[in-house]
Structure 1
Amino acid sequence: MEWSADGIILATRKHGESSLILEAMTRERGRHLGLVRGGRSRRMQAALQPGNRVALVWRARLDDHLGLYAIEPLELRAAQLMTSSTGVYGIQALAALLHFLPERDPHPQLHDGLEAIIAHLHEPLVAGALMVHFELQVLAELGFGLDLTECAATGRCDDLVYVSPKSGRAVCREAGLPYAPRLLPLPPFLAPEASPSRVDGMPSELSGRLPDRQALEDAFRLTGYFLDRHVLAPRLLQMSPARDGFVEAIRRHLQEAESG
């Protein structure tokens, strides 16, 4: 068995004295693992860092084997990611999210979303908005998608300001006001009427009006609630520390921008 594809490195772990097991995200084959012989050598260290884009050739005797990777660097982005706290925490948080996907199950939208976020991790506000959309897409691809297109009570598609924590559906202001303390805020940039973003390189399916600090905090609270409920709690897991670090790094940046 053999295939070749471009991939984004998510993580590595030691194997034996000189090799690594590499975890990469590919567009057609999803999250895929393989052994890199000699991957711990000084010569290969720079190429095998999370966030880098590489050309992969995977070979194995049988399709269900771990297989061997041959690696060719295409875009070494790890050094740039290490220059900002949003880059350091962001790539780890993304890898932790993608780890919940079944191995070798293709998710092209998540692959493309990953590429978009990595390109903007040095821009905290844009990275935060993209990360929220990415978390919503992960929930959807795992079968727990939120319905933010219309009000669960009235069917209205405008003035959607809440989300039901039980159903994961949007609720309009009029229907939700009596129950507001029990509902989650729906940030304006996630509502269907949000205007398209003008950020270069943001995929159209992820576009939306860029948020202010409060909207972004509400958005992370929203996605964090449903990630915990549907993905983490059933596995007896806690939220990734990298995700907490990413959210805090963005919060600090926006606070400094407001005070400056």
Structure 2
Amino acid sequence: MEWEAPALVLSATPYGEGSAIVHVLTGEYGLYHGLARGGSSRRGRPVWQTGNLVRARWSARLSEQLGGMTAETVHASGARLLDHPLPLAMLASLCALADGSLPEREPHPAIFQGLTSLLARISLDPQWAVDAAMPEIVRWELLLLSELGFGLDLGQCALGGGQDDLAWVSPRTGRAVSDARAGEWRARLLPLPAFVLHPEQTGTPGDWYDGLCLSGHFLRRDAFGQRHRPLPEARIRLADRIARLADVVPPDEATGENSPQPD
């Protein structure tokens, strides 16, 4: 049993003397775990750095075994961002979300392609990441929810069916609500930033923050809650960074703690 394919390194955990348990994401085979001999050694660590695009090869005697993993670096994303804290936090959050939510060995080519494109652009242009990557990240998080079967219904207002003035989302149903019909429920709803529905818009740090609160609420409740896991620390740290840029206090949806449960 074996395969060879382009893969993104999502995580690498030291194992034994010099080896590592690595998690990689491929377009064709999905999320795979494997034992990389020498993966935590001085020579192996740069290859298995989170966010790297590699040419990976997995092999095992039986399909249900952990198997061994080897790889050659194609693009070292993480090493390019060591002096760029916010883009590095973006990379860490994206990889942690994919690693913690995707089922093992189930292909999700759209997630792989979107993540590969995002990580490449963030690492090649850190200034673009600082200025304009957050809307792309929020949209990728919403795509992740959709691929996992928890997609939001943002096409029309849940209270009237119209498509205009959509500004809120129900934290219970994931359906959009127009500003005009929010009424007395407004305080219980999650803001819907315009850039989510209009990709040509980039928004402000406050909008990015609202976007993270929106996707974060459903990631915590559905994608990770269904697996009895907390939202990854890397995702929480990214939300905190954006909160500081927006000069606001992180809400519960972004941190994944004590989220509101409307009636």
TM interval, shorter chain, is: 0.7 to 0.9
CA distance in 2, matches of 1:238, 1:66: 25
Q: Is 1:107 matched up with 2:113?
A: no
The alpha-carbon deviation at position 125 of structure 1 amounts to 3.6
Identity of counterpart residues, as a percentage? 38
Q: 1:55 — aligned with what?
A: 55
Residue pairs, 1:3-22, within 5 angstroms: 3-22=3-22
Structure 2 counterpart of 1:39, one-letter code: G
Give, as a single letter, the amino acid of the residue that structure 1 aligns with 2:31. R
Which residue of structure 2 aligns with residue 240 of structure 1?
A: 232
- Give yes or no for contact 1:129–1:216 (8 Å, CA) kept in 2: yes
Q: Judging changes above 3 Å, is the alpha-carbon distance between structure 1 residues 164 and 254 closer, same or farther for their aligned structure 2 residues?
A: closer
Alpha-carbon shift at residue 254 of structure 1 (Å) = 6.0
Please give the residue correspondences for 1:111-260 in structure 2 after superposition, counting only pairs within 5 Å.
111-121=112-122, 122=126, 123-191=129-197, 194=198, 196-197=199-200, 209-253=201-245
Given that residues 7 and 55 in structure 1 are in contact (C-alpha distance below 8 angstroms), is that contact kept between their aligned partners in structure 2? yes
Residues 124 and 250, structure 1, Cα contact 8 Å, conserved in 2: no
Q: Give the distance between the partners of 1:12 and 1:149, measured in 2 at CA.
A: 39
Gaps of 5+ in 1: 198-208, 256-260
**C-alpha deviation, 1:252, in angstroms:** 4.0
Counterparts of 1:167 and 1:214, CA distance in 2: 24
Compare 145-154 and 240-249 and name the one that shifted more: 240-249
Deviation, 1:12, is 0.6
CA–CA distance in structure 2, aligned partners of residues 18 and 250 of structure 1: 36
Partners of 2:89 and 2:192 lie apart in 1 by 25
Say which SS state the counterpart of residue 92 (structure 1) adopts. Answer: helix
Matched position secondary structure for 1:42 = coil
CA distance in 2, matches of 1:96, 1:51: 10
Residues 194-235 of structure 1, C-alpha deviations (whole Å, 9 max, x = no match): 2x43xxxxxxxxxxx111122111111111221222234455
- Greater Cα offset, 129-138 or 38-47: 38-47
Distance 1:182 1:21 in 2: 42
Residue 28 of structure 1 corresponds to 28
For structure 1, which segment, 168-177 or 25-34, has the greater mean C-alpha deviation from structure 2 after superposition?
168-177
Is contact 1:125–1:250 with CA below 8 Å preserved after alignment? no
The number of equivalent residue pairs is: 241
Secondary structure of the 1:43 match is coil
CA change 1:151–1:93 in 2 (3 A) is: same
Q: CA deviation at 1:188?
A: 0.9
Deviations 1:21-62 (A, max 9, x none): 111111111111111112233222222211111101111111
TM-score by length of 2: 0.84
Runs of 4+ displaced beyond 6 Å = none
Quickly say closer, same or farther: Cα 1:236–1:5, change in 2 above 3 A: closer
2:258 is aligned to none
- Farther-moved stretch of structure 1 (2-11 vs 36-45): 36-45
Higher mean C-alpha deviation, range 39-48 or range 182-191: 39-48
Structure 1 match to 2:253:
none
Question: Contact (CA 8 Å) 2:209, 2:246: kept in 1 or not?
Answer: no
